[in-house]
Structure 1
Amino acid sequence: MTLTSELARPHSWPAVDMAFHRQVAELADNPEGRRLQQGLAWKGNDGQPSMSHGVPLRLHSGWRERLTEFVAAYHRLIETIVSAHAADARLQRVMDVPEAWAQDVLAADDARVHLFRIDLLPQPDNGLKVLETNANCPAGLRSTGLDRAMWRPFLTERGIRLPEALPSDAPLWAGRWFLDLAEQETGTRPETVAVLRPRGSSSGSVDGIIADLTEAGVRVVVGDPRDLRSQNGGVALDGEPVRYAYSKIRIKHLMRMRHEVGPYLRALRDHTLFVQNGLRGRLIGESKLCLAVLSDPQFAGLFPPEAYALVKPSIPWSRNIALCDAATVREIRACPERYVLKRPLDSRGAGVVVGREVPGLSAWEDAVTLAVEERWLVQEYCHAPWIDMTPHGQSGKHDLALGAVNGRLVAAFSRVGTEERLNTARSGRAHPVYL
């Protein structure tokens, strides 16, 4: 086991164009800039802020091409894991599915991961470290695309040159990518789309796609997946047949609803209901234990060699802690500052224990014991880069989040915060990134 984190120190990322940042920070502090920023306070129909946003960043020339290639290769590797899992006992040992879900996942033959977001920590040598993959229903792609589009005329009118727009900057992107994908996968373009989310969850997570689908001329019906009923070999919502759905259901919510969503699961398995990423793509592709597979050399032969060679240097040391030998577990217990524990299917910063944040060795040892019992991911700690956003925003650590549809780079943003976990569900502020 070789860890790099002990050599790392807080650092800035050389790829960030700080001259651009200083220009934007100055413009953002004038009355017009402040008015623009007030217009970027995205809220859902429930009036609650959906995400806290900051001024845009820009990366130096050449990074768009590099990240496009990286995302395509990473997508190939994740889809390889999702596809191989059902028949590979080694994968199943590392990425065991909860018993209640095993039959559903193994019966599903949907090995595609249509939509995902990769969260990375840039490194001082311009390398990248992958923290996790969100292959369920990632947030931030639409809103930061709208940010880039809204900042563009403000900046270009003031003489600042910007690179070509990303796909998610386009009007109605959040609806059109789904319609294009559904037509590509099923051969028919949807006229009606159900937006599924559990009752009580924030509307801000789906308001954008509802608005874009509606403006694109599609009829939208909104409901809870528990309200779907079997009908004529498919499913219906309030008596209306449903063939296509944008599914905004966090994995832990889906787990709790397992015995209340039988029609939904059967429709996914029988391909009578299309949702992004299907079931296997979510439960396997979303699992943080994908990093344990990508990190472990014993799985190298599973992957396309060229894609694996490109991505492997960006995978921090990661393992299913329950499969580590006794000496490694002792090392993890003794050195909390070098490790992070992650519950495999949690999201929004929950189920993550950063060793250097834990108050005392005893509490860390308890966390390690729980992680072994529940078969969590253990990962080497990686330092986040630092960026100075003052006086025009929150200064602190930052990451890089990349969104992709079918392996094509569509979105990029950076979350800046003061905590180890930079999630916008916590203290992170999302800054759109121009590539």
Structure 2
Amino acid sequence: MESAMSKANGPFQQDRGGLALCPYDAELDVLLAQASAAERENIAAAQRELRGVALAKGLQFDANHAYPVCLRPTIIDADWAEQLKSAGERFIRVFDNVLELYRHDAEVRKLYRGYEPVRDLLLAAPAFRPLTRICRFDGLVAPDGRYLILETNTDCPANLFASGMATRLWRSLPNPILAAWGRDVELVPQPIVETRNLFISEMLDTYRADKGRDPSEVRIVNYNGRFTSETDLIIQGFGERGIHCEFIDLRELERGAGCVTHRGTRIDLVYNKWDLRDLVQCPDAEHYLRAVAAGDVVSVNPLACQWIYADKSILALLSDPRFGDHFSPADRRMFQRHVPWTRVVAPGRSISMEGEQVDLCDYLKRHRTRFLLKPTNATWGDGIVIGNKVQDADWQRAVDAAASNSAFVAQEYIQGHVVHCPDPATGEITPRIADLNTFIFGGKAVGFLSRANQSPIMSLYKGGAMLPVMVARH
């Protein structure tokens, strides 16, 4: 994975400029960019039909958000896909070493200052490995062809059901884009698409690994109703296995002697749908979190994943040379290939992108267009400040504000590759920035998700489109 990708099976520069993920994907892009007015209308009509069928089948995030599946797929080469899968699986193994670094290294803990009140809880990890059973790595392909992981999503990622459902629906309907393309290609199956309820299987496998039996009672645990996506699908999936599951608020749970109960019923397995930043110093959550840490109930993922691995500070740890001695040479090469330059924003010295010692805040202020600021543990693109999208005075204030609480990272700005695709609602063909994400279940890569947006923020909640992924052999 550390060697440079060949142009035959990885991203490559196109003759007309820009970057394509593979020759097949480039062909689709040319087809859409050059479509005639009649072809565009035909595509728009098919896109509206796809949206209508998706809504009729209940394919949506929640009651307020239709799932924006797009007619245009993203096509990646099978050999390159294998490289990305291997890298993703290796990152999962590295993450479990990070927990030990956090346990023993004071400098590593400084990256995670906000979690000091709950340090004893997240260190009380269960015995099974990997700790991260469910995650989605979100990444962009940089102009130089590197695939860079921007988000680790080891807490409660979305699209675990909807991505596979949307892809199966997409391929069941007539598609004028693929018809016009006309190629007959060999596709590599993706487990997250082909295996219905794969997420449920992984949840059950995790419980068996810890307890040696199947669970009887499962709860999706929420706090104040902030995250609800796919909860109905999770409940339905467990129901099909004969296992009772409900969506509840954590304040409905009670801790007993070595157990957690809900309305008098002992709970075996929980999946948490929340932002754990809300719970670091939350009296409502203390008894429940202590029960999870004690192993009174099995949590997917464990608390260490939801606080330490999901926090963007982990990318600062992996990309900062001052922590390099904690990792093997092969791991460091992998980080150079797949982790963007990232630093926790705080006053003091750091190492620049050029490898020089600099005052971090001054360096960020002088190079506004090269960076963005992100809250260390937030979702949906909330709180992001993109340097090349704001005025200099606003950027200066944002850097100062970020440095005042050490709850932000600065990250190099990556210009993702651009594709042409129809809008999920209207069918109008426009250029959008696209990403590529990898699902990892039980330490194994199980498939891909691609999103495209006119904004650099890829969230499907903020105007993004979901592009089904085809893994193709040339």
Q: Please report the TM-score for the alignment, with normalisation by the length of structure 1.
A: 0.88
Report the structure, 1 or 2, having the larger strand content. 2
Contact 2:115 2:307 in 1 (8 A): no
Residue from 127, 131, 138 that aligns with 2:157: 138
Deviation at 1:324, TM superposition (A): 4.1
2:371·2:387 contact (CA, 8 Å) conserved in 1? yes
Secondary structure, counterpart of 2:96 in structure 1: helix
1:310 and 2:328 equivalent?
no
Q: 1:84 aligns with which of 95, 98, 101?
A: 101
Contact map agreement 1:235 1:267 (CA 8 A) in 2: yes
CA distance in 2, matches of 1:339, 1:20: 31
**Which residue is 1:51 aligned to?**
67
Distance 2:283 2:44 in 1: 55
Worse-superposed segment, 162-171 or 13-22 = 13-22
What are the within-5 Å matches in structure 2 for residues 26-425 of structure 1?
Answer: 29=43, 34-41=48-55, 43=59, 47-49=63-65, 51-55=67-71, 56-108=73-125, 112-154=131-173, 160-161=184-185, 163-169=187-193, 170-201=195-226, 203-255=228-280, 258-322=282-346, 324-325=348-349, 327-358=359-390, 360-375=391-406, 376-390=408-422, 393-425=429-461
CA distance 1:37–1:50, change in 2 (3 Å): closer
- Decide whether aligned partners of structure 1 residues 393 and 273 sit closer, same or farther in structure 2, where only a CA change above 3 A counts: farther
Corresponding residue SS for 1:259: coil
Q: Normalising by structure 2, report the TM-score.
A: 0.81
Instruction: Give 1:209 deviation, angstroms.
Output: 1.3
Distance 1:212 1:49, change over 3 A: same
Distance 1:402 1:393 in 2: 26
SS class of match (1:260): coil
Residue 192 (structure 1) shift: 2.1
Larger deviation: 238-247 or 58-67?
A: 58-67
3-state SS, counterpart of residue 108 of structure 2 = helix
Query: Quick check: 2:346–2:360 contact (8 Å CA) kept in 1?
Result: no
Which residue of structure 2 lines up, in the alignment, with residue 17 of structure 1? 25
- Supply the AA of the counterpart residue of 2:217: T
CA contact (8 A) 2:29 2:420 kept: no
* Matching residue of 1:5: none
Paired amino acid for 1:365? Q
CA distance in 1, matches of 2:223, 2:359: 43
Distance 2:216 2:126 in 1: 26
Q: 1:301 to 1:204 in 2, by over 3 A?
A: same
Deviation string for 1:22-76 (max 9, x for gaps)? 7899798386665344223455596322532212222123122111111112212
CA-based RMSD? 2.8
Contact 2:69 2:466 in 1 (8 A): yes
CA distance in 2, matches of 1:114, 1:83: 18
Distance 1:389 1:46 in 2: 24
Call closer, same or farther: CA 1:291–1:202 in 2, change over 3 Å: closer
User: What is the deviation of 1:340?
Assistant: 0.9
Greater shift in the superposed pair: 71-80 or 145-154: 145-154
Structure 1 pair 138/43, CA: closer, same or farther in 2 (3 Å)? same
Amino acid at match of 1:39: V
Residues 320-351 of structure 1: CA deviation (Å, up to 9, x unaligned):
22154263321211221111111111111112
Q: Distance in 1 between matches of 2:64 and 2:232?
A: 12
Q: What residue number does 2:10 align with?
A: none
Q: Give structure 1 stretches of 5+ with no counterpart.
A: 1-9
For residues 256 and 411 of structure 2, the distance between their equivalents in structure 1, rounded to whole angstroms, comes to 45
String of CA shifts for 1:80-127, please: whole Å, max 9, x gaps.
213321112121122323343234334456781221111111124432
Work out the CA distance in 1 between the residues paired with 2:435 and 2:112.
Answer: 26
Instruction: Kindly provide the amino acid, as one letter, of the partner of residue 414 in structure 1.
Output: S
> How many residue pairs are counted as aligned between the two chains?
424
Check conservation: 1:121, 1:384, Cα contact below 8 A: yes
Paired residue type of 1:95: Y
Q: Is the 8 A contact 1:144 1:431 kept in 2?
A: no
Cα distance in 2 for residues equivalent to 1:298 and 1:45: 41
Shift of 1:288: 0.3
On the 8 A contact 1:231/1:241 being kept in 2, the answer is: no
